[in-house]
């Protein structure tokens, strides 16, 4: 499948926490199609997280179909990519933490990220992914946090290499660092 020059097939949106990544990705997706699928990777384990999920759902409104999948986004993308106009996966780093908590090895997680990259290359619709840039702070003081940071860096590099466009948000300001 050939993609027109002005068409982005895969958008990766990255930045620090609460910098506007999700809003930017949502706005982009809403410009792509009226048939929109939101691929939610977060599990609402506590009241605070349930409140966050409700807030995000309200911000998206009823124009979105939401599919929650904490461990296997490839399954969802494969099932829906040819039936929707755009997919927004939010968020890669939460998905990675879910995989860590599911006791997958680093090699298994790398395989899952590579499977996601391959799936995105075959998707019939544009896909936006939101991820956190977590490596700019101090070196974490414990092995689990360092492992998470390292896996997030690996995943972000693989996804950015495959993306048509990568946008970094800083304080709500988007900066294109790859593509147009």
pLDDT at 169: 97
Tens of pLDDT, residue by residue, the chain (180 residues): 333 445 789 999 999 988 899 999 999 999 999 999 999 998 877 888 888 878 888 888 788 999 999 999 999 999 999 999 999 999 999 999 999 999 999 999 999 999 999 999 999 999 999 999 998 888 989 999 999 999 999 999 999 999 999 999 999 999 999 997
Whole-number pLDDT of residue 67: 94
User: Which residues, at least 6 apart from 19, have a Cβ–Cβ distance to it below 8 Å?
Assistant: 169, 170, 171, 172
Report how far residue 118's alpha carbon sits from residue 26's, in angstroms, rounded to the nearest whole number: 23
Nearest-angstrom CA–CA distance, 167 and 129: 10
Q: pTM, whole model, 2 decimals?
A: 0.92
What CATH architecture does domain 10-178 belong to?
Answer: 3-Layer(aba) Sandwich (3.40)
pLDDT of residue 2: 35
Which residue do the tokens 């780093």 mark? 93
Q: Which residue matches tokens 């946008």?
A: 167
CA 68 to each of CA 73, 101, 133, 172: distance values in angstroms, whole numbers, following the listed order = 9, 17, 23, 26
Question: Which residues are catalytic, by number?
Answer: 56
Q: Residue 6 has what pLDDT?
A: 52
CA–CA separation, 165 vs 39, rounded Å?
19
Report yes or no: 12 and 152 within 8 Å, Cβ to Cβ: no
* pLDDT number for residue 50: 84
Half-sphere exposure of 119 (CA within 13 A, CB side): 22
For position 1, what pLDDT does the model report? Answer: 32
**How far, in Å, CA of 50 to CA of 40, rounded?**
13
Strand order in the sheet with 10-15: 64-68, 36-40, 86-90, 127-130, 10-15, 165-170, 173-178
Domain borders along the chain are: 10-178
């Amino acid at each position: 499948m050939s993609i027109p020059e002005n068409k982005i097939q895969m958008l990766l949106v990255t930045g620090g926490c609460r910098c506007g990544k999700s809003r930017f990705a949502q706005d982009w997706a809403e410009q792509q199609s009226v048939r929109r699928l939101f691929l939610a990777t977060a599990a609402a384990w506590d009241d605070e997280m349930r409140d966050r999920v409700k807030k995000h759902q309200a911000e998206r409104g009823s124009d979105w179909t939401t599919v929650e999948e904490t461990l296997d986004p490839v399954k969802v993308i494969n099932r829906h990519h040819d039936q929707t106009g755009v997919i927004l996966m939010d968020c890669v780093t939460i998905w990675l933490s879910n995989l860590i908590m599911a006791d997958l090895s680093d090699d298994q997680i790398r395989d899952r990220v590579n499977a996601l990259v391959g799936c995105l290359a075959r998707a019939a619709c544009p896909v936006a992914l939101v991820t956190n840039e977590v490596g700019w702070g101090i070196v974490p003081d414990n092995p689990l946090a360092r492992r998470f940071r390292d896996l997030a860096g690996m995943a972000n590099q693989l996804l950015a290499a495959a993306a048509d466009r990568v946008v970094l948000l800083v304080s709500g300001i988007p900066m294109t660092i790859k593509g147009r």
